[in-house]
C-alpha cells in the first residue's frame, strides 16, 4: 500500500514529499486529516456521559 503523504510548507504554502521545503528550505508539516479533528473526542465523551446517566 502506497500512500502519498504530502507535506505542506507553512511558510510558502507549497507541497512536497520531503521534510524540507524545496522552495524556501523551511520545515514542512503533515496536514491533519479531518477524521482526527479534536472535536471528535468530545463527541465520544458526551456519548459516554449519556450512556452513564441512562443506567
Ligand atoms: Zn516553503
C-alpha of 43 from chain center: 18
Please tell me the predicted confidence (pLDDT) of residue 46: 74
CA of 2 to the centre of ligand 1 (A): 25
With helix as H, strand as E and coil as C, how does 5-39 read?
CCEECCCCCCEECCCECCCCCCECECCCCHHHCCH
Q: Do the beta carbons of residue 7 and residue 16 sit within 8 Å?
A: yes
Reported as a single tens digit per residue, the pLDDT across 23-47 is 999 999 987 665 655 666 666 677 7
Domains belonging to the chain, first-starting first, are 7-54 (2.20.28)
CA of 18 to the centre of ligand 1 (A): 11
The three-state secondary structure class of 2 is coil
Angstrom CA distances, 49 to 16, 22, 38, 39, 54, stand at 42, 48, 18, 16, 9
In which band, very low, low, confident or very high, does the pLDDT at 12 lie, cut at 50, 70 and 90?
very high
CA of 6 to the centre of ligand 1 (A): 13
Amino acid at each position: 500500500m502506497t500512500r502519498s503523504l504530502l507535506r505542506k510548507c507553512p511558510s510558502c504554502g507549497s507541497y512536497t514529499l520531503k521534510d524540507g521545503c524545496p522552495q524556501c528550505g523551511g520545515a514542512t508539516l503533515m496536514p491533519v486529516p479531518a477524521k482526527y479533528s479534536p472535536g471528535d473526542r468530545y463527541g465520544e465523551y458526551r456519548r459516554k456521559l449519556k450512556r452513564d446517566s441512562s443506567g
